[in-house]
Amino acid sequence: MLKIRIAWKRRKMHITAARYGLTDEKTVICSQELDVLLNKYQHSKKGVFIQSYRSTMK
């Protein structure tokens, strides 16, 4: 589900940037929203890695 939201937000950002420019407030806000989603995804992947690493240490 998170991957779908990331893909949708990335597409929206590209469209917004093409329409309004890279430095427009709409594009910047969309980019920041995408950053939040990417950070959530990265954090969730990091948690999975740590859990699997810990299970091998037992």
What pLDDT does 33 receive?
A: 97
Separation of alpha carbons 43 and 49, rounded Å: 10
Whether this model's pTM surpasses 0.85: no
What pLDDT does 45 receive?
A: 81
**How large is the average pLDDT for residues 7-18?**
98
What pLDDT does 53 receive?
A: 46
Count of CB atoms situated within 10 Å of the CB of 34: 17
Q: Identify the structural domains of the chain with CATH numbers, from first to last.
A: 2-57 (4.10.280)
Count of CB atoms situated within 10 Å of the CB of 27: 20
Each residue's pLDDT tens digit, 22-58: 999 999 999 999 999 999 999 888 765 555 545 555 5
What pLDDT does 17 receive?
A: 98
